[in-house]
Every structure is written in C-alpha cells, then in structure tokens.
Structure 1
Amino acid sequence: MKKIKVAFFSIPTKEKNYLNKRFDKNKYELYFFKDNLNSGNSILKEIDVLSVFIYDKVDKEIIDKAKKLKLIATRSTGFNHIDIEYAKKKNISVCNVPYYGENTVAEHTFALILALSRNLHKAYIRSQQSIFTLDGLRGFDLRGKTIGVIGAGSIGVHVMKIAKGFGMKVLAYDIRKNHILEELLDFKYVDLDVLLSSSDIITLHCPYNEQTHHMINMNNIHKVKKGALFINTARSGLIEPAALYYAIDKGIFGGAGLDVFEGEELLKEENQMLTKNVPIQNVEALLKRNLLLRRENVIITPHMAFDSHEAIERILDTTYENITSFFENKNYYKVV
C-alpha cells in the first residue's frame, strides 16, 4: 500500500514528536521542517499533503511545484497566507483549525490590558533596577470601564465574559448580530464609529480579509475616545500602520498592547539585515517596531496569544483529524 506523504513546515521539535505519535506510520510518511516553507525544497514534488503555519506563504509558485498535492492543512484559523482561489482551480482542498484558542487568546488579551492598566511592565523594569518608587505607576480600575470588542465571534465572546467578571460595560461591533447572545451576556451591538468614540479599551478579534483591511485608519482614528487603550491580538492588517503610530504619538491611544504588528514575520531575519539585500519597506517596518518598543505605554509580545500547551495540542489534534478525515472521506474543517 502506497503511503500518504505529508510535509509539515514551521514545526518545532515538541510538535513534531506529538504528531509522530498520532499518525499511523503504516499509512503515512511524515516529513518535518523547522524552517518556513520555501519553493526550493525538493520534497514539494513528492507530497500529498502540505501543512503550514501563518508565516508560510502558499502561493501559485508553491502550488505549481507540488504536482501531487491534494490537501493544504494550515495549523491556524486564518488562511490569508494561502492562495485559496488558485488552490481551488487546481482541485486542491484547504482546511484550517477554526476553534482552538478562544479562551487562550482572550486570556492573553486581558494579560495585556491588565499590564497596561496597572503599569506592570514599568514596575517590573524598575524592580529589576532596585527602584521601588510609586511615581508614575498609578493605574486605573477596570470596573465600570467600557470595553469595545471588534469581532464578536468565539474569541470575542470569551473576552466579553471575562470583562463581565471585572464589572465592565461591553460594546460590540460585528457584521453578524446574535441578539440572543447580546441579551444573555448583557452587551450592546453598536456601529464601529460609536464603539471607537465610547470605549475606554478597544480590542480586535475579527478575521483579516478584504472587508476588514485597515478597518481602523487615518479617516476614523480621530473618532477614538481620547486616551483609550488599544489591544490587537488578531491581525496587524486590521489597523492602518500610519493610524496606529499617529494615535500613539498624539496620545489618542493612552497605551497599546500588540501581539501582532507590521513586519512581525521579518523578526527572524532581523539579524541578517546588514548582510543581505532586503526591501526598504521591510527595514522601515522594523525601525517603526523599534520606535514602539521605546515607548513606556506600548507592550509588544511576539504573536504568542495562541501559544499555550492546551491550545497547541488542540491545533495539532485538529490538524491530524483534518488530514486523516480527508483521506477517509469523513467531515473535516474544509475552507475550499
């Protein structure tokens, strides 16, 4: 019996070991690569399944190289890193992991909110320098404040539940409205402009696509309530970079917690910037990131909101089930 060949890219050793234990080696032949996907890898010509992460761009060139490819299994909810239309044209199925980190990302969201509202990051740095003065460290209560949740899906709902535990008021913006949920969780759907102008904290939890691209931008950034905290654990493309830097610089945002940011995929290349030619826009993105890091009211984390032990296991389990179900003609999380 011919084995099904599966290649995993951007896969750490621990995740490799976990997947190795799950797959039946009599049916599947597995290949693991720590590095990002690249068109020069010869294994592409042989594989039936390609499993990738968010920094692996599956474009027309990759798809054309993978002549035997039947399934692309992304280990993420988002799939904007995959040329969906071209895959469909080539009769290649695409699947994702729609549910894995609802509570995980919501918890990280509040970690950022609490760090900013109580100046924990500043206090930690001072304590490392044996400075214990309270000057400049006074924070504010979350109780009674209004949080605006942009994207009231599974993650957004968990954020709302946590917010209610803190005694916060909740506003939500979403193109789909669930009024039963609105009544049960005691929040209110509002237009985006109303949310921006009324929220003490603005947090993003919607997918990135053509409709949500730069949904917060230079045209509406002035509608934000002065001094609001801005939290982004979703995708950097949801806010126009110029608007983000402007709002922080002018004090429109009183602080920002960013788990995603412009040019985050370049961080692995940062140490090589002086030794190889890179597009000027990449250098500019990293310079802007470094400017943000110098600000006391900005916290940047390295796209880690999803990264808990439990969430990673859920991602790997769903990926395994997607792949095996595809070849067993069972239901799986199909995108196309």
Structure 2
Amino acid sequence: MKKIKIAFFSIPSKEKSYLNKKFDKKKFDLYFFKEELYESTTSWKEKLSILNEIDVLSVFIYDKVDKKIIDKAKNLKLIATRSTGFNHIDVEYAKKKKISVANVPFYGENTVAEHTFALILALSRNLHKAYIRSQQSNFSLDGLRGFDLRGKVIGVIGAGSIGVHVMKIAKGFGMKVLAYDIKQNHILEELLDFKYVGLDELLSSSDIITLHCPYNEQTHHLLNMNNIKKVKRGALFINTARSGIIEPSALYHAIDSGIFSGAGLDVFEGEELLKEENQMLTKNVPLKNVEALLKRNLLLRRENVIITPHMAFDSHEAIERILDTTVENIIAFFENKNYYKVN
C-alpha cells in the first residue's frame, strides 16, 4: 500500500518527536522542516522536491500557502494548519483545486486568556518596571503605584471561546464586563453576568479593552483612526488576537496621545519579519517592512508598552492539544470521518 506523505513546516524538535509517536509508520511518511515555508532559503530545493510528492501539508501561522505553493504541490489533498486562524492560506484557491483545508478551532481558550491577564496585571501593577529596577538593585516605589482591577470595566471584543474565558477570569477579579460580538448568546450573557453593547459604547466605557475576535475582512482595522477617539481616555489596550484588527496608525496615535495609558501586545505590525531582522542590511526589503520594524522598536522603548513574541498560545498543554487535533484531522480525512474542515 502506498504510504501517505506529510510535510510539516515550522516544527521545533520537541514537536517533531511528539508527532513521530502519533502516526503509524506503516501508513505515513513524515517530513519535518524547522524552517518556515518560503522560497528565500538555502533549503528551498529540498522543500520543492518534497512539495512535489506530498499528500498533506501541515503549516503554522507564518507559513504562507499561496497559489504558487499550492500549484507546486501536485499531489496535495489536505492542508492542515496548526492554528485557529487560516488567513495565511489561500483557502478559495485550495477549494478550486479540490484541496481540503483543516484547522484547530479549539486548543488554547484558557491559555490565551491567561496570557491576556498576565499582560493586564503587568501593566496595572507595573511589574515590568519593577523587575527592571530590581535587576539594578533599585527598590524605590516611586512611579510604581498601580491600580486595582476590582470594579473596573473590561471590554471584550470578540465573545467567542477565548473571550468567554477572559470574562470568567475578569469576574474572578470582581470586574464589570462588556462584550461586543456580531453573534450574541443571551443565555451566556445572563449566566456570566456581562452585557452586550455596541462597539462605540464599549470603547467609551471600558477601562481595559482586549481583542479576541478573528482577523478577516469584517474585522480588518476594526479599531481605526475614526473610532479610536471614542476610547475612554487612559484605558489599557491588550491585543493577543491579530495585529490587523487595529489600524497601526490608530495604535501609535492612541499610545502617543495618552488615549491608551498602556498597551500589552502579543501581536504587532511586522511581527513576521523579526526572524529576518538581522538580514535586513543585506537584503532588498520593502520600505513598509522597514517602517514596521522601526515603529516596533519605538514601542519597545516606551515604559507603558509590553510586547511579547506571539506567545499567548504557547503552553505545554496547548501545544499538545494543537498537535493532537492536527493528527486527528489528518487521520480522519483519509478515513473519511469528520474533521475540522475550513473549506
């Protein structure tokens, strides 16, 4: 029987070992690449030869699966992304080529929610500033006074599975919760004691604004230069979703002008470029990419901004859930069983 060939990209060594134990080697041949899926690498020829043979392509959020890649994978039947979002894949073109796309819709609801509150607490109690001072043997309290979360209003944009976990944690802190979502579950609203409101009301009433909606055409620049002025002055802003949900100029303006008194960003404009940053002096790169990195560096210098490297999802338990669901998707596809199909 012909073996099913699967290529995994953006795979650390620990994940490679985990996946090797999950597949029957009599049925599957596995190929692993630590690098991302793109052409500008020394191993592109090796990748290209694999793409010509594989039945399944498994990728992560920085692997751009466009028409060019899909056309090179002549035998491709399934694209299995190890993420909830799939905007890095040309889903419509894959469908046209009769290639299925699967994702991992549930894996880290509590994981991302916990990281969200790690950012909130760091900002509300100035933990990042205190840590830097203590490393310099400076234990002065000047400028470190924070504020209680109890009684504050948190505005959750995107009341899906992650947003709901954020609400539950917020209730544990004694916070008031507002939510904005195009789909409203009023039974859940009553059970968790929060209130659905319009986006403008959420922006103007929230002490903390946190993003948990997917990134798509409808949410592209959902927060922008037109509505950022409606934000309650001095609010904290948290983004563990996608950078494109807020217009970059609106984010910088809100921080510079004090509309946001602080920001916790696990995602930010140009984050996908960071791995290439050291090569920028020797490569021809678009001006907009250089500008994005310069703006990121300016944000890093601000005491009221905390940036983490897209790690909200990255816990031991969440990664195992991602890999398990990916394996289940692939096996179910070839056994004609239900899987998390996107297209």
For Structure 1 versus Structure 2, the TM-score category normalised by the shorter chain is over 0.9
Pairing partner for 1:285 from 280, 292, 295: 292
Report SS of the residue matched to 2:274.
helix
Q: Distance in 1 between matches of 2:289 and 2:276?
A: 10
- 2:168 aligned partner: 161
Aligned counterpart for 1:91 among listed residues 77, 91, 98 = 98
Residue equivalent to 1:269:
276
Q: Which residue of 2 aligns with 1:79?
A: 86
Task: Give the SS at the match of 1:172.
Answer: strand
Pick one of 185, 210, 214 that aligns with 1:178. Answer: 185
What residue identity is the alignment partner of 1:327? F
- Looking at structure 1, the residues matched to 116 and 188 of structure 2 have their Cα atoms a distance apart, in angstroms, of 21
Partner Cα separation in structure 1 for residue 201 and residue 168 of structure 2: 21
1:137-148 to 2 correspondences below 5 Å: 137-148=144-155
For 1:323 and 1:310, locate their aligned partners in 2 and report how far apart those are by CA, in whole Å: 20
State the one-letter code of the partner of 2:28: Y
SS of residue matched to 1:7: strand
Output the CA distance in 1 between the equivalents of 2:183 and 2:22. 37
**1:156-305 to 2 correspondence within 5 Å?**
156-305=163-312
SS at match of 1:318: helix
Q: Take 2:284 and 2:336, find their aligned partners in 1: how far apart are those partners?
A: 47
- Give the distance between the partners of 2:63 and 2:301, measured in 1 at CA: 30
Aligned to 1:8: 8
Q: Which runs of 5 or more residues in structure 1 are unaligned?
A: none
Cα shift at 1:275: 1.4
3-state SS of paired residue (2:222): coil
CA displacement, residues 1-43 of structure 1 (integer Å, 9 cap, x when unaligned): 1000000000000000000001000000000000001254221
Q: Deviations over 1:88-143 (max 9, x none)?
A: 00000000000000000000000000000000000000000000100000000000
SS of alignment partner, residue 177 of structure 1: coil
Q: How many residues align?
A: 336
Which AA in structure 1 matches 2:166? V
SS in 2 for 1:158: helix
Encode CA deviations 1:140-173: one digit per residue, 9 max, x unaligned: 0000000000000000000000000000000000
Corresponding residue SS for 1:143: coil
Structure 1 segment 12-91 matched on structure 2, within 5 A: 12-39=12-39, 40=44, 41=47, 42-91=49-98
Q: Quick one: which amino acid aligns to residue 26 of structure 2?
A: N
TM alignment of 1:301-316, pairs within 5 A: 301-316=308-323
Separation in 2, partners of 1:37, 1:7 = 10
SS at match of 1:5: strand
Query: Per-residue displacement from partner, 1:266-291 (whole Å, max 9, x unpaired)?
Result: 00000111111111111100000000
CA distance in 2, matches of 1:327, 1:93: 11
Match of 1:22, SS?
A: coil
Give the Cα separation in 2 of the matches to 1:227 and 1:294.
Answer: 19
Are 1:129 and 2:136 an aligned pair? yes
Structure 2 Cα separation of the partners of residues 172 and 135 of structure 1: 35
Aligned partners of 2:318 and 2:210: how far apart in 1? 21
SS at structure 1 position matched to 2:210: strand
Structure 2 gap ranges (5+): none
Query: What one-letter code is carried by the residue in structure 1 that aligns with 2:29?
Result: E
Q: Distance in 1 between matches of 2:110 and 2:318?
A: 9
Question: Secondary structure at the residue paired with 1:274?
Answer: helix
CA drift of 1:255 comes to 0.1
Give the letter for the 1:89 counterpart.
K
What residue identity is the alignment partner of 2:266?
D
Q: What is the distance in 2 between the residues matched to 1:38 and 1:126?
A: 41
Deviations 1:289-313 (A, max 9, x none): 0000000000000000000000000
In structure 1, what is the Cα distance between the partners aligned to 2:160 and 2:152?
21
Using the alignment, how far apart are the partners of 2:221 and 2:38 within structure 1?
28
* Secondary structure of 1:171's aligned partner: strand
TM-score, normalisation: structure 2: 0.98
Range moving further from structure 2, 64-73 or 273-282: 273-282
Give the letter for the 2:9 counterpart: F
- How far apart are the structure 2 equivalents of 1:20 and 1:234? 30
Matched position secondary structure for 1:332 = coil
